[in-house]
């Protein structure tokens, strides 16, 4: 018997705790529970509790109790139904990201991301291979949450088939004298063996180091309540004391073990020019073509994300404006990324980008993006090495969810020479209404050109994936840069539409 | 000819400005435009620009230009398409509220809330009576935005039928040599007379003091660009200087002109008791009934908002927990209202409540609510008299939008005596895990009982509407209070389901 089998076995066993024992034990637990929540709130720490289990195991009772034990101002209860229109227009995990608790709050999720998975497995909508992909996604999701500071506590309330039958009959008899079962109750009873089979697969696959399941029998109300209260006191205490032991020892990163990066920036050909007339003519044609393509894509429900990164003054804004001039205003959104707001800081660093994921057929244009994590945050020391090193795979995972949903992801690095940058800074300073574009920050960034270059090369090497490739754009000449960008976008749309 | 006819007439006239004149004039305007935006940002002031007009009048061109003139980090461009699933599940104006610019930002809306109205009028989906209702709603919406600090600038780009035909043919000839019109272009040309008829009605009805339309001819690019730049410089300057003249002279409020309020709290009978056994039995029955009713309501798509207000320690949280124990966790959300967050403060005070408006079939339970505006904010001086006095009608308008969409709105005031409150405070202080519920604030509020009582009476009198009535609950005995609340909720659901 594996350790996991033992756990499930313990979930089958019935326990009984008397009312008096329960009440006296709870008297000593309620104070600590509330204190711990307050300490988490003061430490600005979010914790996610996922409560799942078989029907009739007392999940509703636990929900009501947790809302009584904890201060409801710093917690919320939530369960996912079938995806709404907005939700089904976006990658599967989008709604999970949208509902994450903010720092300082306890989130209580009934089934959480396991709900949709259970329902898809039970209905047969999902074949085993798809299920395994989703299980891997869930494990990576929980990993990134835990690693980025949001512990996940998972609780499974179990009942044997016999116990479930007894519970549900008892419930019916309480309802009225005829004790007739409702259709949904009958269905639940009949479904028990299938449900348990699905549960065993899911629980086993998601019994991870970073987020393990507490599996317990839900038959006796006092037993389940007390067990959960104790579990929460233990877990929350551990989280709080871990929080206190700052500065946390960051693991040593063996930087040398990372694959070496072959530089690509140096190979970008920055020479060449284009006369204005040819440029304008070509741009006009491209804008017409793009207007038609994006219109077709909208009808086919193909969303797109265009990411613009590049040196300061490389012409990101100008390129974006030429693109949007070809788009229907109902259909796109430009998202300029600055330092995160207070609200954004209260979430996982990817949250503010998840928020802007376009619906089917919509386009989001990012002026700077999540790559800030491995560029400015790396270079300026705003993220720890362990954080930005982790970010490469977190970002790849994020983009994989986007492209997996059918979103077109195009990433542009606008490259210019150090000399051209200086020329543009000077030009901006001489034009009154462009002066706002140039600040002391720009010159400071410039002085760290080499460090940035190293970060850019690493980014290009580690996040240039088959489904979401980087496009290096020679931006020394603005006309050429824009024409190139249009070409790439048009080609990508044409390819994508052929496959639609 | 009315003043409005003159305006429209001016929209028909063609103007021409040479390229040289345009460029030299714009040179002097771009600096001020950017400076004004920066001053607005520093003053933390939001401004909404609505850009509308006939097809071919150059709206897209203006969009691109505004994105060039202004700093895109502090502005956004947006246009509404057909309502998404999420949006069509909620009152018509919900999505407008969700997309309001935050303080410090310029919001640029293409057609804004006029888009859906135009499309509904043109398609005949909306009869004139419905149109007039919506026009009144829009005027009240703009009024509350302007009064609460968000000026609305509306621009209409006009073309005569002849000008439109010329423009659209020119566009087609630019596209390719055959100059074939697209289906959508043909439709627009054909629709012109209908479109103009609708536009005249809508523009005239929404040409208000608080938010007037600038109507101008869009035929000549330089003329429309320059006119808009000048208009924006004028309007934004006025807004900035108005902002600087703080402390702003608040208009004198003739309090005496408000209708006197007949007190209702004193008539609430606080006597009586209920034994625990009867209470539990009754509660259990009511919970079963409510579970069934809310289930039916969910299937019929009937949403509900339950508002809980009352004296501190009146038992709001306990009543809410008894209700939620009967509800499906996927179906409800409890929203405890505390002081607004930074993000919430950056919006209209009703924004954070609009955000929580439930979708069809969903339930939102508010532990305190928008009534804070006329209770704590009034009594503690957090809102100016002019603000909280205005709030009564703003709140009635808000609730009218909710009930108009078919949402069940139930408002509870939980009433207890001053003596009972003191007993409960003392009890809370003696139970360790309830101590967090009691703070210095509670005692301070208590010392202002009379002021609060006056505010409560005014609130009951001015916001007790036929569609969203107040329920006064005798909460001196918690059992009686809960049973009463269940009764009201059950009756309301039964009535509503009969009408569904």
- CATH level 2 (architecture), domain A3-244: 3-Layer(aba) Sandwich (3.40)
Q: Which of A308, A236, A314 is nearest to A48 (CA)?
A: A236
Q: Which of B157, B159, B135, B151 is nearest to B212 (CA)?
A: B151
- In this complex, the residue of B59, B71, B175 whose CB is nearest that of residue A436 is B71
Average pLDDT over residues B114-143: 94
User: A167-176, A371-380, B123-132, B358-367: which range is least confident on average?
Assistant: A167-176
Is the bond preceding B247 in cis, omega lying within 30 degrees of 0? yes
Q: What is the pLDDT of residues B298-331, one digit of tens each?
A: 999 999 999 999 999 999 999 999 999 899 888 8
Reply yes or no on whether the pLDDT at B54 is more than 80: yes
Give pLDDT, residue B253.
53
Confidence of residue B342 (pLDDT cuts 50, 70, 90): confident
Reply yes or no on whether the pLDDT at A8 is more than 80: no
Give pLDDT, residue A50.
98
Reply yes or no on whether the pLDDT at B416 is more than 80: yes
Residue percentage of chain B with pLDDT more than 70: 95
Chain A hits for B432, CB-CB cut-off 8 Å, are 30-31
Residue contacts between A and B (CB atoms, under 8 Å): 124
Reply yes or no on whether the pLDDT at A247 is more than 60: no
d(CA B223, CA B19): 10
Residues of chain B with CATH 3.40.50.300: 3-244, 266-499
d(CA B99, CA B469): 29
Reply yes or no on whether the pLDDT at A169 is more than 50: yes
Count each helix (H run) and each strand (E run) in chain A, helices first: 20, 10
Partner-chain contact A336 B33, CB within 8 Å: no
Q: Mind spelling out the 3-state secondary structure of B198-250? A: HHHHHHHHCCCCCCCEEEEECCCHHHHHHHHHHHHHHHHHHHHHHHHCCCCCC
Pairing of strands A363-367, A304-310: parallel
d(CA A139, CA A82): 22
Reply yes or no on whether the pLDDT at B250 is more than 80: no
Residues of chain A with CATH 3.40.50.300: 3-244, 267-499
Q: What is the CA radius of gyration of chain A?
A: 27
Alpha-carbon gap: A262 to the closest alpha carbon of chain B (Å)? 34
Q: Report the run of H or E that residue B470 belongs to, with start and end.
A: strand B470-474
d(CA A293, CA B60): 18
* Residue where the block lists tokens 């969810």: A401
Q: What is the pLDDT of residues A415-437, one digit of tens each?
A: 999 999 999 999 988 887 777 77
Confidence of residue A354 (pLDDT cuts 50, 70, 90): very high
Q: What is the pLDDT of residues A172-197, one digit of tens each?
A: 887 777 878 888 889 889 999 999 99
Report how far apart, in Å, the C-alpha atoms of B36 and of each of A349, B237, B238 are: 32, 7, 10
d(CA B114, CA B109): 10
Give pLDDT, residue A253.
53
Structure tokens at B382: 């957090």
Chain B hits for A60, CB-CB cut-off 8 Å, are 325, 329
Alpha-carbon gap: A465 to the closest alpha carbon of chain B (Å)? 29
Residues 6+ apart with CB under 8 A from A390: A144, A147
Reply yes or no on whether the pLDDT at A10 is more than 80: no
Reply yes or no on whether the pLDDT at A130 is more than 50: yes
d(CA B17, CA B218): 12
Reply yes or no on whether the pLDDT at A255 is more than 60: no
Reply yes or no on whether the pLDDT at A119 is more than 90: yes
Mean pLDDT of chain A: 90
Handedness of CA B236, B241, B245, B250 (dihedral sign): negative
Give pLDDT, residue B249.
47
Higher pLDDT, A443 or B309: B309
Nearest CA in chain B to A82: B330
Alpha-carbon gap: B404 to the closest alpha carbon of chain A (Å)? 22
Residues 6+ apart with CB under 8 A from B68: A321
Residue percentage of chain A with pLDDT more than 70: 95
Confidence of residue A249 (pLDDT cuts 50, 70, 90): very low
Give pLDDT, residue A6.
63
Q: Report the run of H or E that residue A471 belongs to, with start and end.
A: strand A470-474
Chain B hits for A430, CB-CB cut-off 8 Å, are none
Partner-chain contact B85 A85, CB within 8 Å: yes
Nearest CA in chain A to B326: A60
- The whole-angstrom distance between residue B117's C-alpha and the CA centroid of its chain comes to 17
Nearest CA in chain B to A329: B79
- CATH level 2 (architecture), domain B266-499: 3-Layer(aba) Sandwich (3.40)
Is the ipTM higher than 0.85? The answer is no
Partner-chain contact B321 A64, CB within 8 Å: yes
Structure tokens at B19: 């390229």
User: A49-63, A125-139, B139-153, B168-182: which range is least confident on average?
Assistant: B168-182
- Residue A178 DSSP SS3: coil
The full DSSP string for A230-268 is HHHHHHHHHHHHHHHSPSP-PPPP-GGGSPP----GGG-
Average pLDDT over residues A223-231: 96
Reply yes or no on whether the pLDDT at A258 is more than 70: no
CATH topology of domain A267-499: Rossmann fold (3.40.50)
Give pLDDT, residue A281.
93
Mean pLDDT of chain B: 90
- In this complex, the residue of B77, B79, B86 whose CB is nearest that of residue A84 is B86
Reply yes or no on whether the pLDDT at B497 is more than 80: yes
d(CA A416, CA B379): 60
- The whole-angstrom distance between residue B294's C-alpha and the CA centroid of its chain comes to 27
d(CA A455, CA A461): 10
């Amino acid at each position: 018997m594996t350790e996991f089998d033992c756990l499930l076995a313990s979930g089958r066993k019935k326990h009984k705790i008397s009312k008096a024992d329960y009440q006296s034990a709870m008297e000593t637990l309620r104070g600590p529970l509330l204190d711990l929540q307050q300490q988490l709130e003061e430490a600005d720490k979010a914790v996610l509790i996922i409560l799942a289990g078989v029907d009739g195991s007392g999940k509703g009772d636990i929900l009501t109790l947790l809302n009584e034990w904890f201060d409801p101002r710093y917690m919320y209860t939530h369960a996912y139904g079938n995806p709404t229109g907005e939700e089904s227009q976006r990658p599967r995990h989008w709604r999970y990201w949208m509902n994450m608790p903010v720092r300082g709050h306890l989130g209580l999720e009934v089934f959480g991301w396991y709900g949709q998975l259970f329902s898809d497995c039970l209905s047969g909508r999902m074949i085993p291979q798809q299920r395994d992909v989703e299980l891997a996604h869930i494990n990576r999701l929980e990993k990134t949450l835990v690693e980025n500071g949001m512990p996940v506590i998972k609780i499974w309330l179990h009942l044997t088939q016999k116990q479930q039958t007894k519970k549900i009959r008892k419930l019916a008899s309480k309802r009225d004298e005829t004790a007739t079962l409702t259709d949904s109750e009958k269905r639940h009873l009949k479904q028990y063996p299938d449900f348990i089979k699905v549960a065993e697969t899911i629980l086993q696959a998601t019994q991870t180091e970073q987020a393990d399941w507490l599996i317990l029998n839900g038959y006796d109300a006092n037993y389940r309540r007390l067990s959960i209260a104790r579990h929460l006191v233990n877990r929350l205490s551990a989280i709080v004391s871990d929080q206190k032991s700052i500065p946390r020892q960051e693991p040593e990163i063996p930087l040398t073990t990372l694959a070496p990066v072959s530089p690509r920036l140096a190979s970008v050909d920055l020479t060449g020019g284009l006369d204005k007339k040819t440029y304008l003519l070509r741009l006009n044609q491209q804008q017409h073509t793009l207007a038609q393509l994006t219109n077709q894509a909208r009808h086919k429900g193909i969303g797109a994300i265009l990411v613009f990164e590049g040196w300061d003054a490389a012409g990101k804004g100008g390129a974006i404006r030429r693109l949007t001039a070809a788009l229907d205003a109902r259909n796109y959104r430009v998202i300029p990324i600055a330092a995160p707001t207070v609200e954004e800081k209260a979430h996982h660093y990817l949250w503010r980008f998840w928020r802007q994921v376009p619906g089917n057929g919509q386009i989001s244009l990012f002026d700077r993006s999540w790559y800030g994590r491995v560029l400015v945050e790396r270079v300026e020391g705003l993220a720890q090495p362990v954080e930005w090193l982790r970010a490469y795979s977190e970002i790849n995972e994020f983009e994989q969810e986007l492209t997996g949903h059918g979103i077109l992801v195009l990433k542009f690095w606008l490259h210019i020479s150090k000399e051209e940058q200086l020329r543009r800074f000077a030009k901006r300073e001489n034009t009154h209404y462009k002066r706002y574009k140039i600040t002391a920050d720009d010159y400071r960034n410039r002085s760290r050109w080499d460090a940035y270059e190293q970060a850019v090369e690493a980014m290009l090497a580690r996040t240039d994936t088959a489904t979401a490739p980087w496009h290096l754009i020679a931006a020394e000449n603005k006309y050429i840069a824009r024409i190139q960008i249009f070409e790439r976008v048009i080609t990508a749309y044409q390819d994508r539409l052929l496959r639609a």
